[in-house]
Amino acid sequence: MNDTQGDIHTFAHSLNLTFKNPALLRQAFTHRSYLNEHRGEALEHNERLEFLGDAVLELVSTHFLYNKFPEKTEGDLTAYRAALVNAVTCAAVANDIKMNDFLLLSRGEAKDQGRARGVLLANAFEALIGAIYLDQGYDAAKNFITAHLLVKIDEIVKKNLWRDSKSTLQEKVQEAEGATPFYSVIRETGPDHDKVFVVGVYVKNMLLAEGSGKSKQEAEQDASQNALEEKGW
């Protein structure tokens, strides 16, 4: 991983993004842990941009779904949106556009290629949206989200990925095992303001799958989805 400004410009160029303020682009990729090891650099971490980008993402996706599915209920639209903007989908898109190659992380964080990396990628993706919004405005952020994330909706609907995975897993397990799955936190990482939860889903004390998320609820949904995929359900 090379953290030079030139490399980040290469990333922006690959997506046809031109930043008036390149510092915003660099900030979007800067994790808090990186600053702990580079205290001499005049950088800000990406958490405030992530906060802003999350709100822009929610508005853009909500407007998109409202227009695309005029016949759907509020409940269905909420489920579609949750599947579209959750950490798993955002991390997948971030991987697609090669954000992982440019993340600025501490040496310790850089070694972790597991589920925690997915959460960092999702956060950076939201921060990038925030940076685009501040630098170029709402329409530019909307165009970026539309091109890279909203295109996922047809697959999500076709494969029923929007369905509540915990409910689906419970139905399948009760049918197959005559038991109810339960969830338990395996570990928590990160500071209080930026925790990542890793949760296991179990049946009769056997681990079916693990999942991670920024909340226990999100981690449980991720674990249940992974269990469904593992079982071929």
Could you say which DSSP state residue 40 is in? T
How far is 217 from 19, CA to CA, in rounded Å? 36
- Tell me which of 126, 135, 210, 220 is the catalytic residue: 126
| 28 CB-contact burial (10 Å; exposed 0-12 / middle 13-18 / buried 19+) | buried
In Å, what is the CA distance from 33 to each residue of 29, 44, 126, 162? 11, 11, 18, 33
In Å, what is the CA distance from 20 to each residue of 136, 142, 210? 8, 18, 42
| 187-216 per-residue burial string, b: 16 or more CB within 10 A, e: under 16 | eeebeeebebbbbbbbbeeeebbbbbbbee
From 60, 62, 124, select the one nearest 92 (Cα to Cα): 124
126 is catalytic: yes
From 140, 152, 143, 132, select the one nearest 81 (Cα to Cα): 152
- Tell me which of 54, 210, 218, 222 is the catalytic residue: 54
Active site residues: 54, 126
